[in-house]
Amino acid sequence: MKINIHISTYIFLLISFLGGYFEYMYLFLLIVFIHEYGHYIFGLLVGLKKTVINIYPFGGITIFNTDLNISILKEFISLIGGLVFQLLFFFIVSLFFNNGFITNHVYFIIKRINYILISFNFMPILPLDGGRLLNIFLDIFLPYKISNKITIFISILFIILFLCFHISVFRIILGLFLIKCIIVEFKNINIKYNRFLFERYLNNYDFNRIRYIKNINYFKRDYIHFINNVYERKYLSNLFDKTNGSMLKY
């Protein structure tokens, strides 16, 4: 596991120290790290390795170096790990508070931070957990490329609502960061899908369910696909230099 702390985090820590909010910022980053560490631990449980955790002054992102064709269940388990660890931490803090080991002041700061983080993080906006959860849910019913497009569209709508609900400097900065992430997702959607297809070519995934499709844009996660359209077969054969048979399997 590699941990990257963005330089802006140190700047915000310095500003919070000078402004008398260091305790709040310190507890905020502690909870963020615990949340991201939960993603990491649950990821390990399902076999995901080579993890990078990026810490920002407004949250964190855990990146697993894994295939896009990872099973939906494994991705879901690694996703909920952050929430589980965060709630477990708050449960332990509550026990300490009830037994007099933590002051009211610290307890209510932690309680408020947990409420804010959970409320914000589960908005359906990429790359937040809520956006990823929405994407996973759509992947169950829709082809991979279509679910990505819908998730990006919904993310844009909720970013607009997020910025319009209450205007502040912090919201604007956070909104600009999310917009940047969405723009990157949108620009790379075809590259990401080609990688998704190329993984199918390189690896012999052992999925239990089968689909017959005529269009390569209809590939779904957790399915083996048989392509019975001659033009689509030729396209994939040329793309991956694969022998063109009567029906391609991916």
Q: Alpha helices of the chain — where are they, by DSSP H?
A: 7-19, 22-45, 72-98, 104-121, 129-141, 144-165, 169-187, 189-202, 230-240
Q: Does position 239 have pLDDT exceeding 90, yes or no?
A: no
Distance CA(23)–CA(27), nearest Å, equals: 6
Burial (CB count <10 Å: 0-12, 13-18, 19+), residue 247: exposed
At residue 59, φ and ψ (nearest 5 deg) are 155, -165
Summarised one tens digit per residue, pLDDT across range 173-193 is 888 888 998 999 999 999 999
pLDDT classification of 30: cutoffs 50, 70, 90 = very high
Q: Does position 166 have pLDDT exceeding 80, yes or no?
A: no
Q: How would you classify the pairing of strands 223-227 and 248-249?
A: antiparallel
- The pTM assigned to this predicted structure is 0.84
Predicted confidence at residue 229, as pLDDT, reads: 59
Long-range contacts of 71-75 (CB under 8 A, 24+ apart): 71/221, 71/222, 72/136, 72/139, 72/140, 72/221, 72/222, 73/46, 74/46, 74/47, 74/48, 75/132, 75/136
Provide the token pair at 167.
């205007």
State the average pLDDT for the chain.
Answer: 85
What percentage of the chain exceeds 70 in pLDDT?
Answer: 91
Contact 109, 26 (CB under 8 A): no
Distance CA(51)–CA(37), nearest Å, equals: 10
Predicted confidence at residue 107, as pLDDT, reads: 92
Summarised one tens digit per residue, pLDDT across range 63-78 is 888 888 999 999 999 9
Q: Does position 145 have pLDDT exceeding 80, yes or no?
A: yes
Summarised one tens digit per residue, pLDDT across range 202-224 is 887 888 888 888 788 889 998 88
Summarised one tens digit per residue, pLDDT across range 92-130 is 999 999 988 888 988 999 999 999 899 889 999 988 999
